[in-house]
Amino acid sequence: MNANAIISHNPLLKGAGLPPFTEIQPEQVVPAFQQLLAELDAELTKLETSVQPTWSGLVEPLDKLTERLSWSWGIVNHLMGVKNSPELREAHEAVQPEVVQFFTKLGQSQPLYNAFKALRSSEVWNSLESAQQRIVEAAIRDAELSGVGLQGEAKERFNAIQLELAELSTKFSNHVLDATKAFSLTLTSTAEIDGLPQSLLSLAAQAARAAGEENATPENGPWRITLDFPSYGPFMQHSTRRDLREKLYKAFISRAADGDLDNNPLIERILELRQEFAGLLGFKNFAELSLASKMAPNVEAVEALLEELRRVSYDAAVKDLAALKDFALSKGAKEALDLKHWDIGFWAERQREEKFAFTAEELRPYFPLPQVLDGLFGLVKRLFGVSVTPADGQAPVWHEDVRYFQIADETGAPIAYFYLDPYSRPAEKRGGAWMDVCINRGRIIENGVTSVRLPVAYLICNQTPPIDGQPSLMTFNEVETLFHEFGHGLQHMLTKVDYTGAAGINNVEWDAVELPSQFMENWCYEQPTLFGMAKHYQTGEPLPEHYYQKLIAARNYMSGSGMLRQLHFSSVDLELHSRYRPGGNETPADVRQRIAKTTTVLPPLPEDSFLCAFGHIFGGGYAAGYYSYKWAEVLSADAFAAFEEAGLEDEEAIKVTGRRYRDTVLALGGSKHPMEVFKTFRGREPSTTPLLRHNGLAATASAN
């Protein structure tokens, strides 16, 4: 087959509809994008010369252009996550720079930017719907944050900073990865592995074999413990050898902090460049720039929330530590009077086991996947009046385990679809769980006929596959994860916005996007929902009541300490990106130690170089945004409280509140500001009280 034939039949150039997964091959990626980007480049040039400052003369043609790219690029990125291979990775690497360059060119297009501004100041502006106005305003803001308004040297400097920051971010992440890999602890005697669970011994023996110890076994060793979390975490929780826990802990907190892998100079440089970058765009600091596209109005508002939660969680964390010391003392531990950082995980796990007397493994037989799905689908019918039914065979899939479902409204009419890829496949699928967009809802005009394109979502989990004729048996944590991702999916699928740029999760401020997902997790603890799905897969026996009581009790175990830890990270991140200035009297490490005085109950050790491994803000996209986790959690807890106030045992009240939530939080997408959406649902601004109550911290709050 010649090259032209390959291109003309290339499934990645179909441009719309369900992806033809069964036809797509890695070797089609490069020719598809060579052709697609050339065509889009020509289309962009044409649009720039003929653009009109109207909805149909600007937004509609631009949507068509970007949707072609996001459809094809979305498929490739999706397959990178669920069906990775050396061939696909190579093809992805080959085309990614050109795709990024095209998006940059689009973001800095002066003619399009001018047209958006002209549309905003035109006479038709007030006749546009709020979704249309929000799309236009977001386009103007994003262009400005992409440097569209810069000229000459300033623009050159801006683009150079962007490139250098991208390089530094990659280098930072590589240093952390290499430093994590560089350390290991090889154990050879049974005394050294005392207390370790079987699962960790198997992992440690496997690590030893991978490092060249051909005869390593879980029973006889040697065992290799590493700083990778699946190895480090369980070791710190279960090893009875305090000396080894100390050694491992000190190695963990000093990663990427010296020698060739030292991230300290990179941190200084990143913060310096971010400050300059923000200055070029007219902001006082990088935190202001970060918040320009988020829900939080300013740095002060974020700090006020963090301080409100800090006061409560600090007192609770002090009590947590005192209780842990008392527990260790009751067990005759010599270190009880002076618990160190490397003792906390160990004694917290002993206390948890004694207090709640159950393990995650014990609950698995009560949560087979088919039953959990029935429970989840029953809940969304009860809350939102929608029905979920299997539609397997109606869509091509990338793996035989992938399911396809339809969502229908009260009349039985389809309103959305989704793929579910539930099981772990380590050889080709990345870890974790996520929801992604396959197709956006949108109004389509073809040959003068208008129709609405229905949304399609990807829901991806990584749970244990069915083994030896058993169904996939889920941990309770995996059940929560499925509900969480389905919450994201519902916002994408139940949207009623017909303008793609604000439909579903599109154009929803980043610190509000976790609201629907965190909201759904609460229902896992609601009695009718839990008992509706928790039945033993062999006997059909419902989950014993004592397990339910233990689940409820364990939910808030040491929640003050857990919350304070997140607030410590958030506060350090915000301070470094707002008030800190490189080259002054303080180093970033000094800033962290200063903030630790009010956000930790066990101050960091002098050699603690946590910032050197804080990938979220120096290697990922959370700079001046780490607070988002807590910001959205306030919203989701308060949204669930609306159902509690209506009465969880009152089915009619649940139905009324559920429909109101569906018509606001889930339906309005990015068509209105999240605060406006929340107030429409709740009738007021959000309160932190439900979050504190759900975390068992309400009593502490009222005492303050």
Catalytic residues: 485
Q: At residue 9, what is the residue type? A: H
Sequence-distant contacts of 231-236: CB under 8 A, at least 24 apart? 231/200, 231/203, 231/204, 231/207, 233/345, 234/196, 234/197, 234/199, 234/200, 235/196, 235/200, 236/342, 236/345, 236/346
Sign of CA dihedral 210, 211, 215, 216: negative
Sign of CA dihedral 643, 644, 647, 649: positive
What residues contact 122, with CB distance under 8 A and at least 6 apart? 53, 54
Q: How far apart are CA 599 and CA 567, in angstroms?
A: 7
Cβ atoms of 65 and 44 closer than 8 Å? yes
Helix (H) or strand (E) holding 500: none
CA distances from 399 to 79, 318, 394, 499 (A): 11, 50, 14, 32
For 137-196, the DSSP string reads HHHHHHHHHTTTT--HHHHHHHHHHHHHHHHHHHHHHHHHHHHHHH-EEEE-SGGGGTT-
Q: How far apart are CA 119 and CA 343, in angstroms?
A: 62
| Coil/strand/helix, residue 498 | coil
* Token reading at 404: 């396809």
Question: Residue 417: what are its φ and ψ, rounded to 5°?
Answer: -140, 160
* Neighbouring C-alpha atoms within 13 Å toward the C-beta of 371: 24
Provide the H-helix boundaries in 239-365: 242-253, 264-280, 286-291, 299-330, 341-356, 360-363
Question: Residue 187: what are its φ and ψ, rounded to 5°?
Answer: -105, 140
Cβ atoms of 424 and 463 closer than 8 Å? yes
Cβ atoms of 36 and 13 closer than 8 Å? yes
For 214-261, the DSSP string reads TT-BTTTB-EEEESSHHHHHHHHHH---HHHHHHHHHHHHTTT-SGGG
Q: How far apart are CA 307 and CA 291, in angstroms?
A: 18
Give me the torsion for CA of 426, 477, 181, 218, rounded to 10°: -80
* Token reading at 537: 């897969």
Question: Residue 466: what are its φ and ψ, rounded to 5°?
Answer: -60, 135
